[in-house]
Amino acid sequence: MADAPWAEIREKFQTALALSRVELHKNPEKEPYKSKYSARALLEEVKALLGPAPEDEDERRQADDSLGAGEHALGLPAELVEAEGPVAQGAVRRAVIEFHLGVNHIDTEELSAGEEHLVKCLRLLRKYRLSHDCVSLYIQAQNNLGILWSEREEIETAQAYLESSEALYNQYMKE
């Protein structure tokens, strides 16, 4: 994490969530996404304060090949990898921001950008997806991608994300 104080990051994040959820109803009719855009700006600030995510090309390539492609392609780990330590916590924090940026873009009808952020969220959480701290976020990101692809009438892709989400849920419940 960058040197930014945690309190500043938390405050900006909470303000962004409030703008997305509460202030949305106060937007002028001619600017229906005003609060969403303000929330997005704050989320981008938080993302910058968290610093860049370290990239591992082999892991990234593996994630690209398997995201949302069903239980077999998911390559679900045989054991649970907990999201502990500074590297894992940094990845989880970045994933939360990517998730909210993805939902924000989808809410403002910018579907491609929303998809990119949700896929980044999945990449960041991939190895921790069975952790109790991460499983819900991973499933939500997959479900949002499934809905996004169904709205594009790409039913097979949507189904793959949704089935992958269900498989992860079932595996998590067994552990």
Whether the pLDDT of residue 167 is over 50: the answer is: yes
**CA nearest to 129, candidates 100, 99, 92, 163:** 92
Question: Which position has the higher pLDDT, 32 or 61?
Answer: 32
Lowest mean per-residue pLDDT among 14-18, 58-62, 169-173: 58-62
pTM of the full structure: 0.83
> If pLDDT is split at 50, 70 and 90, which confidence band does 18 have?
very high
Mean pLDDT, range 51-75, rounded to an integer: 51
Question: Which position has the higher pLDDT, 3 or 147?
Answer: 147
> If pLDDT is split at 50, 70 and 90, which confidence band does 22 have?
confident
- Rounded to an integer, what distance in angstroms lies between the CA atom of residue 69 and that of residue 74? 7
Most confidently modeled range among 14-18, 46-50, 116-120: 116-120
Three-state SS at 34: helix
> If pLDDT is split at 50, 70 and 90, which confidence band does 65 have?
very low
> If pLDDT is split at 50, 70 and 90, which confidence band does 41 have?
very high
Mean pLDDT of the chain: 85
Whether the pLDDT of residue 98 is over 50: the answer is: yes
Question: Which position has the higher pLDDT, 56 or 36?
Answer: 36
